[in-house]
Amino acid sequence: MSAAVSEPAVPNRGELQAEVPRKGRLKSRHVTLLAIGGCIGASLFVGVGEVVRSAGAGAVLSFFLGGVIVYFVMLMLGEMTTARPELGTFVDYARVGVGGWAAFAVGWLYWYLFVAIIAFEAVVAGQVIGGWLGVPNWLCSLGVMAVFVGLNLYSARGFGEAEFLLAGIKIATILVLGVGAVGYVLGLLPGSTGVGLTNLLNAPLLPNGIAPVVQGMAIAVLSFVGTEIAVIASRESEDPGRAVVRTTRLAVIRIVLFFVGSVVALLLVLPFAEIPVDSSPFAAAFDRFGIPYSVQIMDAVLLVAVLSIVNASIYACSQTLFRLARNGYAPAGIDRRNARGVPWIGVLLSGSGGLLGAAVNWFAPDEAFAFVLNSVGALALIVYGFVCASQVGMRMRTPAEQIAQLPVRMWGHPWLAILCGVALLGIDVVMFIEYETRVQVALSLLALVVVSVVYVFLSLARRRRVDSA
């Protein structure tokens, strides 16, 4: 990593268009489905029950406020992408808006975050498939990784086709919940008498005070992690400018309709005391609708969600490594692309990193693997904080007349971006105060310190080489 802190020349738009051949680019439908359902993971289908039982009806507020923060982050990414389309990911945005240290830190932290996610989801997928087929879990995890690394190596379109199918299944599941909830409430389903708003109105508003609502915001924000992948993918679409605008606007549908709407639907269908914590509340709701094999159906949907996250995470990791190398913050050669425009070395390294993390679980699940998962528990909040700082910095460096013509702009500059950053910091503070999540915040901050020290060390080493030359 001898050139780890050099500043590269920014490529022009023609060079960027040539990086991905047209046959390998994402289609509009790929980006649309990725924007709507790409980040929907198992946390919505299972984890939402824990938030509702802790925060009561206030869980709606948790997901709404958490969604507002993430939507503003999407607006900031959309603005930076449309203002500087020659840049790649928020590695580039952080370099331009804040500086080299921010770019180095946010890039490597983001890559580490998603490598850990790949490892965790690969383990879960292996357990589910292994349980179904009666084969070793590790072999199933290996098979899952091979399939999705292969799809990402083929082309961006291979990633897009897989995500199109997987996201479609997740979206259909949520729509079934919404339509079923309306039918159940109105008594239109076979065997249902209609409960109206009884369950929702009888749910305690704040059974444990306001603290669980704030804690629920943290879970909500972390549940939305991956939303930004749609903006990254938009750059490799057939019409990047239009795709970025559509992706940003569709984020509202995803946040309000799918996440907030799902919480409301569950509260309408299930009495508060019957909302499960350790299993999927979706399965409990489907059982109320009279849908047979609801538990088995949700097990399959959860597997789809896990596979979707593995697919999207490999893509996000490879793109991040590519931009780190292009900016001089990763070893030379990682930014090589194949004939279809895929950063194939980044895909292999990211897949290998995820597989290594999964292997750690097989050998030391209670020590090393738990440490890895805890060390990324708050990294998404830190990364989003860098996005806020990058947007403020880039806006200051962008002519006002250019800003006025952008199709996507962050509102209330700079105060709303600053407020988002403060809110993210506040969520970190709440997580640190709570005993259950204190270790996650501490280890995430330690990861930030480690990459910062590495950056300083590499900067000094490079300076000494320049001085001695």
Distance CA 367, CA 82 (A): 44
Residue 366: its pLDDT value, please? 67
The DSSP 8-state label assigned to residue 411 in this structure reads: S
> Would you call 9 exposed, middle or buried from its count of C-beta atoms within 10 A (0-12, 13-18, 19+)?
exposed
Is residue 106 predicted with pLDDT exceeding 90? yes
User: What SS3 class is residue 398?
Assistant: coil
pLDDT at 243 over 80: no
CA distance 283 to 177: 10
* pLDDT on residue 6: 43
Q: Give the pLDDT confidence score for residue 4 in this predicted structure.
A: 41
Distance CA 388, CA 72 (A): 9
Share of the chain above pLDDT 90, in %: 36
Which among 29-33, 200-204, 374-378 has the top mean pLDDT?
A: 200-204
- 204 vs 354: CA distance, rounded Å: 41
Q: State residue 445's pLDDT score.
A: 93
Ramachandran quadrant class, 271 (left: phi over 0; alpha: psi -120 to 50; beta: rest) = beta
3-state DSSP helix/strand/coil % of the chain, to nearest 5: 75, 0, 25
Q: What is the pLDDT of residues 118-170, one digit of tens each?
A: 888 888 888 899 999 999 888 999 999 999 999 999 888 888 888 888 888 98
d(CA 152, CA 68): 31
What residues have CB less than 8 Å from 300, skipping those under 6 apart? none
pLDDT of 73 strictly over 60: yes
Give yes or no for a contact between 315 and 151, defined as CB atoms under 8 angstroms apart.
Answer: no
pLDDT in the model for residue 8:
41
Evaluate if residue 12 carries a pLDDT over 60.
Answer: no
Average pLDDT over residues 441-468: 90
| Region 212-228 average pLDDT | 82
Cβ-based neighbour number of residue 64 at 10 Å: 17
Mean pLDDT confidence for 35-39? 68
Q: On the CB side of 7, how many CA atoms lie within 13 Å of its CA? A: 9
Closest CA to 69 of 265, 216, 242, 263: 216
User: What whole-number distance in Å separates Cα of residue 306 and Cα of residue 354?
Assistant: 14
Distance of CA 426 to the CA centre of its chain: 20
pLDDT at 446 over 80: yes
Helices (H) and strands (E) in the chain, counts: 22, 0
Backbone angles phi, psi at 111, to 5 degrees: -65, -45
Mean pLDDT along residues 235-250: 75
User: In Å, what is the CA distance from 220 to each residue of 81, 226, 275, 442?
Assistant: 25, 12, 18, 20
- For residues 420 and 437, the model is more confident at 420
In the predicted structure, residue 54 carries a pLDDT above the cut 80: yes
> For the chain, what are the domain ranges?
27-456
Residue 310 has pLDDT above 80, yes or no: yes
Q: Mean pLDDT over residues 337-354, rounded?
A: 90
> What pLDDT does residue 469 have?
64
More confident position, 203 or 27: 203
Could you tell me the pLDDT band of residue 411, with boundaries at 50, 70 and 90?
very high
Buried b (16+ CB within 10 A) or exposed e, 127-161: bbbbeeeeeebbebbbbbbeebbebbbbbbbbbbb
Q: Is the per-residue pLDDT at 57 higher than 80?
A: yes
**pLDDT beyond 90 at 410:** yes
pLDDT digits 0-9 by tens, 257-280: 788 889 999 999 999 989 998 888
Are the C-beta atoms of 226 and 312 separated by less than 8 Å? yes
**Distance between CA atoms of 445 and 199, rounded to whole angstroms?**
41
Instruction: Check: CB of residue 224 under 8 Å from CB of residue 73.
Output: no
Residue 132 in tokens: 């179904």
> Does residue 220 register a pLDDT over 90?
no
Q: How much is the average pLDDT of 92-98?
A: 93
d(CA 318, CA 335): 9
The encoded tokens of residue 249 equal 């606007």
pLDDT at 14: 41
User: Where is average pLDDT lowest: 10-14, 42-46, 228-232, 391-395?
Assistant: 10-14
Q: Which amino acid is at 123?
A: V
Would you say residue 94 has pLDDT above 90?
Answer: yes
- What single DSSP character describes residue 11? P
Dihedral, CA of residue 176, residue 181, residue 184 and residue 189, to nearest 10: -20
**Burial degree of 465 (CB within 10 A; 0-12, 13-18, 19+):** exposed
**CATH code given to domain 27-456:** 1.20.1740.10
| Token pair for 215 | 């804690």
Give the chain's end-to-end CA distance (angstroms, integer).
18
Predicted confidence at residue 13, as pLDDT, reads 40
CA-to-CA distance for 27 and 401, rounded, in angstroms? 31
> How confident is the model at residue 49, as a pLDDT?
86
- Beta-carbon neighbour count of residue 350 at 10 Å? 26
Share of residues in the chain with pLDDT > 70 (%)? 92
Cis, bond preceding 240 (omega within 30 deg of 0): no
pLDDT of residue 20: 54
The answer to which of 43-47, 138-142, 405-409 has the lowest mean pLDDT is 43-47
Residue 375 has pLDDT above 80, yes or no: no
Coil, strand or helix: which one is 224? coil
Residue 16 has pLDDT above 50, yes or no: no
Cα(382)–Cα(427) distance, integer angstroms? 10
What confidence score (pLDDT) does residue 144 get? 93
Is-contact 117 464, C-beta < 8 A?
no
Q: Which is more confidently placed, 319 or 3?
A: 319
Q: Name residues whose C-beta falls within 8 Å of residue 31's C-beta, 6 or more positions apart in sequence.
A: 160, 230, 233, 234, 237, 243, 246, 247
